[in-house]
Amino acid sequence: MNITDKKHLLRAAWAGALVATIAASQAASPSTAANGKRPNIVIILGDDLGFSDLGSFGGEINTPNLDSLARAGVRCTQFYTHASCSPTRSMLLSGVDTHRNGLGNMDEWTAPNQVNQPGYEGYLNDRVTTLPQLLKNAGYHTYMAGKWHMGKAPNQIPAARGFERDFALLDGAGSYWDMLNFTATTPVSTFTEDGRYLKKLPKNYYATKTYTDKIIGYIEANRGDGKPFFAYVSHQAPHDPYHLPRDWRNRHVGAYDKGWDAVRQERLKRQVELGITPPGTELAERMWFVPDPNLLAPAPRALLGKKMELYAGMVENMDFHVGRLLDYLKAIGEYENTIFIVFGDNGAEGADLFKMIAGTPGTRDFLFAAIQWSQTHPNAWGDPHSYVGYGPMWAQVSMTPFSQYKGNMAEGGIRNALIVSGPIVKRPKGSINRGVLHVADIMPTLLEVAGARYPETLNGQELPPLIGKSWVEVLAGEKESPRSDQDYLAWEMFGNRAVRQGDWKLRWQYKPYGTEEWELFNLAEDVAERHELAAAHPEKVKALLTLWDDYVRANNVILPSRVLWEGMEKKLPDRYPVEAGFPPLIYKRQFIPPTNMLAEPKP
């Protein structure tokens, strides 16, 4: 027996043990729809999709299909993910805190003191079970297409973690057109299909289209056998690089030349009109190192606007392919019996990932980037071998009205838009819910829907507890939130940390984005986190720090010895408040004397 055969045998044995362990965990009477059938489940995940990007959350981007799900269901405005992608995905599929499920840090940023520590494996570890495995054993088909980012070894890929069919990009990002990856040591992205590693991609591959094709194909292949399905549509879009078919690139030409401040103001106005945010909501302060767009010359402002045009096209293209899936489900009579859960995996991406990856001239990765990502002319943006991201200015637009973006513990890093529709929702169509929800809630919610229980043990080992709370009563209109004011949520990522209880939030962030001190905010009054209250409420700081310490002990939180913020403070300008019209010197208009006082010089 060769090594490959042994690996497949071990994987099969592990999966068989998992089936045997949790077969008895299924509940006797699963939730059913009005027609007596258990509902199908579709999770649509946008990668780096911002809170305000969809039309139903105030965006100007054209998203009719996702907005149709919002009109048919409920929009949730206090839904929390994690600050980065793989940690969010790990909690979605395990229901367990990142520091216990293997993604205590992103694999790409594991600190030296976290290496070989339990909970920091960099992949979804074997001490947790998964939502698709439990649903599979409850009688569901389980399908996945898109980005995985939770392990690449044979026992870590989607087929080994409960997915019956899969077409998966195992890496965190990459080209939308081919298998090109980012660095010289990992030049080729890794894909699997139905548990096998792909040598090449299908003909006419484009990520967003192909993922949709695959999911529709999986559902169609088993249609009619009477079993419900769980489909995890884990889109790569709109994560950079912004790769886009040419006919999708020019739908917003010039629309963003007005600049990021104006677009943020327009989005906030629509959010208030839609009821997403209350009247009087402040916008978060523009990042201090982001220029006032009104001070830029027309050409650079238009060039930066073109990046946002591409991003908007990415979101619209994703929405179009979501529409294809919805149309297919309607055509086969399954739309009305399907629960849809739609959200983005973290805040919008404001960092320059390409610069971080390529490094400096003279390095190996800089040479790789210069050769492989060489299409830098704006007319080539969107083509294969081009790399475009839209930067912190537009990331703040995507996260309107919140502060900061992905990677940070400000609301702009961890709060996102959530849409839930389908037979589980009994609230008025198009309504808005303001309960405090968390991505880890999805596991207990869907287990309740499917009539499955979370097992106590796996392979003889006690499983860590689920940290989420079911939304079934909330979606039925019986409760506003699954949490009381005594419950709390906590986060740690890259050394940044936060805890929220009720309306109060305590956060600690590295410089330059934070102060490296605990900061206190009342989110009911200050969702933009403009007004820091630690000195005014020391008793609240103390109470929340007690909760933070409890979280650290319960989840084996190991603060990293190295962080990605190292040296960043020196690379950015000094931080001063951003106030409109200051300094007056550069905003003052030319003085125009009264015309009746104009005169020619005297001889």
**The pairing of beta strand 415-421 with beta strand 74-80:** antiparallel
Residues sharing a CB contact under 8 Å with residue 349, sequence separation 6 or more, in sequence order: 48, 239, 240, 389, 395, 405, 406
With a cut of 50, which residues of the chain have pLDDT below it? 1-29
Query: Which pLDDT value is given to residue 75?
Result: 98
Query: Which pLDDT value is given to residue 455?
Result: 96
Residues sharing a CB contact under 8 Å with residue 381, sequence separation 6 or more, in sequence order: 242, 249, 306, 307, 310, 375, 388
| Catalytic residue of the set 85, 99, 252, 321 | 85
Please classify residue 440 by burial: count the beta carbons closer than 10 Å to its beta carbon, then call 0-12 exposed, 13-18 middle and 19+ buried: buried
239 carries an active-site annotation? no
Query: Dihedrals φ, ψ of 457, to 5°?
Result: -135, 160
State whether the Cα torsion 511-515-520-525 is positive or negative: negative
Query: Which pLDDT value is given to residue 46?
Result: 98
Q: Angle between the 442-450 and 85-94 helix axes, to the nearest 10 degrees?
A: 30
DSSP string, 80-134: E--SSHHHHHHHHHH-S-HHHHT-SS-GGG--GGGTT-TT-SSS--TTS--HHHH
Distance CA 575, CA 570 (A): 11
Q: Enumerate domains of the chain plus CATH numbers.
A: 36-571 (3.40.720.10)
Between the CA of residue 586 and those of 77, 265, 591, what are the distances in Å?
38, 22, 13
Distance CA 80, CA 92 (A): 11
State whether the Cα torsion 495-89-173-45 is positive or negative: negative
Beta carbons of 69 and 342 less than 8 angstroms apart: yes
Please classify residue 407 by burial: count the beta carbons closer than 10 Å to its beta carbon, then call 0-12 exposed, 13-18 middle and 19+ buried: buried
Query: Which pLDDT value is given to residue 32?
Result: 52
pLDDT tens per residue across span 433-470: 999 999 999 999 999 999 999 999 988 899 999 999 99
pLDDT tens per residue across span 58-95: 999 999 999 999 999 999 999 999 999 999 999 999 99
149 carries an active-site annotation? yes
SS3 labels along 237-275: CCCCCCCCCHHHCCCCCCCCCCCHHHHHHHHHHHHHHHC
Beta carbons of 95 and 88 less than 8 angstroms apart: no
Query: Which pLDDT value is given to residue 584?
Result: 93
488: β partners: 501
Give Cα 343 distance to the centre of its chain: 7
Distance CA 481, CA 436 (A): 6
| Catalytic residue of the set 141, 149, 239, 243 | 149
